[in-house]
Amino acid sequence: MKQFYLNTMGCQMNDHDSEVIRGLLLSLGYGETDRVGQADLILYNTCCVRANPERKVYGHITSYRRLKEKNPQLIIGICGCMPQQKQELAKILEQLPHVDLIFGTHNIHRLPELLERAQNGERAVEIWDEAQYDEGQDFRDSLPIARGHGLKAFVNVIYGCTNFCTYCIVPYVRGREHSRLPEKIKEDVQNLIQDGYKEITLLGQNVNAYGKDLSNKMSFAALLKELDRLEGLERIRFMTSHPRDMGQDLIEALSTLDTVCEHLHLPVQSGSSRILRRMNRGYSREYYQDLVRRIRGMTPEISLTTDIIVGFPGETEEDFAATLSLVEETQFDSAFTFIYSPREGTPATRLPEQIPEEIKKKRIYKLIELQNSISAKKMQKLLGTQQEILIEGRSREGLVGRTRTNRLVHLDGPLDLVGSLLKVEITEASTWSLRGRIC
């Protein structure tokens, strides 16, 4: 049997696309291997949001030249967001001549044919500039999905992004927003429930924009309400939410719908209104803080996570201090922190006041230190509390599960508890995980 090695970088959209790729390859008779040296097909599903992961792809793929020399039948492929950018595609074609197979984010379903062409000795390269779809549909609808987990699953609700934050490449590589039909989403979820899934994460670059592009308009909150009614579903999560589009109806849905978990990922990006304006985020520091107050007012136990960029062009010490004070005041449960990375083709790259690398680094260390101390404090507060845990599997340390607020919990217990919802008392807390005892 031929073997494939699939490496996935970036966000959950890519994780889910890789489940589709895996489904396709398994249906073609391939088996999966995690040993790159044994693969007949090496495929990298890439991310282009920042420069670092891109550099890694060049490093890895360059080193695979050796494998190709040993085994000329080996196919090496790159797909996803990187080749979706014209200049990056040209660079791949030139600098990585041993890559045989390239496709993008809009034509994953073309993989079987492209792979066959690569196997016949052709350099199979195909990128579509835009997704081709009928209203409410997507090519992924009719493809097999090999899911990575038996209890929790991703379901796409909206593809693409049309926000054009000035630093972000996503709108250029994932296309404009298009929502899936609610019937399709419900059907997916119902099938997953039947297959024993307990938790669904609804995916979109901006789930709050869900339904605006459908001729039968529907809000994301209304979609949540319909899914909440489905018999047998325990937990619904969703990401990502854009603060600007977070309406009162969604704030209420978070607090009132039983299956919707008390966790919200709400990227703030900066604590300075001046920088937020330059980022084209469409809200101010004060708006964000008021939004958080309203969300916590209705759902006090909610876990709030965020994304923050430091070193955006023109960010002064004062702007950065505003980010630190926002983090201090908001008390996020955790934050993904990023050094601004100029992306070719985005407006922010052309701004004159780019920040030197040393300053960016200094700032991110300071920010991480502050957030870590807040995260640790928040975890400590859970000591002695009782939490509902979905037991998801096991690790070296026994069973592992998650709270409704998405915190990782280790506990002891028999393996047949996997898949059950249990009340657990929290007995230990560290910055990143908890330990508990079944009540």
Q: Does 246 help bind ligand SF4 (rule: CB under 6 A)?
A: no
Q: Does 242 bind ligand SF4 (CB under 6 A)?
A: yes
**Residue nearest ligand 5AD (C-beta atom):** 307
Segment near ligand SF4 (CB under 6 A); pick from 13-21, 84-92, 158-166, 351-359: 158-166
* For ligand SF4, the closer CB: 283 or 320: 283
Stretch that binds ligand 5AD, among 177-185, 339-347, 366-374, 402-410 (CB under 6 A): 339-347
**434 φ/ψ angles, rounded to the nearest 5 degrees:** -125, 165
Residue list 43-62, contact with ligand 5AD (CB under 6 A): 49-50
Contact call for residue 80 and ligand 5AD (CB under 6 A): no
- Residue 310 touching ligand SF4 (CB under 6 A): no
429's enclosing H/E stretch is: strand 421-429
User: What are the DSSP E strand ranges found in 92-243?
Assistant: 101-103, 124-126, 152-156, 158-159, 178-179, 199-203, 235-239
Name the 3-class secondary structure at 106.
coil
CB of 95 to ligand 5AD, least distance (A): 22
Q: d(Cα 421, Cα 403) in Å, to the nearest integer?
A: 10
309 interface partner picked from ligand 5AD, ligand SF4, none, CB below 5 to 8 A per type? ligand 5AD
b/e string for 372-389 if b means 16 or more Cβ within 10 A? eebbeebbeebeeeebbb
Q: Work out the number of other CB atoms within 10 angstroms of the CB of residue 352.
A: 6
d(CA 139, CA 117): 21
User: Judged by CB under 6 A, does residue 239 bind ligand SF4?
Assistant: no
331 contacts which partner out of ligand 5AD, ligand SF4, none, CB within 5 to 8 A by kind?
none
Cβ(304)–Cβ(264) below 8 Å: yes
- Measure the CA–CA gap between 236 and 225, rounded to whole angstroms: 11
Q: Of 167-175, 176-184, 258-266, 347-355, which part binds ligand SF4 (CB under 6 A)? A: 167-175
Closest by CA to 28, choosing from 129, 111, 151, 121, is 111
| Binding-site member from 13, 42, 170, 173 for ligand SF4 (CB under 6 A) | 170
State the binding partner of 171 from ligand 5AD, ligand SF4, none, CB within 5 to 8 A by kind. Answer: ligand SF4
| Segment lying near ligand SF4 (by CB under 6 A), choices 138-146, 168-176, 227-235, 401-409 | 168-176
Nearer to ligand 5AD by Cβ, of 30 and 340: the residue is 340
Task: Please list the residues that pair with 410 across neighbouring strands.
Answer: 400, 435
Residues of span 140-199 touching ligand 5AD by CB under 6 A? 167-168
What is the footprint of ligand 5AD within residues 100-119 (CB under 6 A)? none
SS3 category, 268: coil
Distance CA 126, CA 101 (A): 8
Question: Contacting ligand 5AD (CB under 6 A), which of 8, 156, 299, 341?
Answer: 341
Distance CA 326, CA 270 (A): 8
Cα separation, 262 vs 126, whole angstroms: 42
Query: Candidates 243-251, 288-296, 335-343, 408-416 — which segment interacts with ligand 5AD by CB under 6 A?
Result: 335-343
Show contacts with ligand SF4 in window 171-230 (CB under 6 A).
171, 205-206
Which residues lie closer than 8 Å to 191 by C-beta, 6 or more apart? none
Closest CA to 288 of 320, 322, 336, 316: 322
**Residue 340 touches which of ligand SF4, ligand 5AD, none (Cβ within 5-8 Å per kind):** ligand 5AD
- Residue 385 in 3-state DSSP? coil
Give the 3-state secondary structure of 300-336. CCCEEEEEEEECCCCCCHHHHHHHHHHHHHHCCCEEE
Q: Is 251 in the site for ligand SF4 (CB under 6 A)?
A: no
Decide if residue 269 touches ligand 5AD (CB under 6 A).
Answer: yes
Binding segment for ligand 5AD among 33-41, 182-190, 333-341, 394-402 (CB under 6 A)? 333-341
Binder of ligand SF4 out of 7, 107, 137, 163 (CB under 6 A) = 163
Which residues contribute to the site for ligand SF4 (CB under 6 A)?
161, 163-165, 168, 170-171, 205-206, 242
Interface ranges with ligand 5AD (CB under 6 A): 49-50, 167-168, 267, 269, 307, 309, 338, 340-341, 343
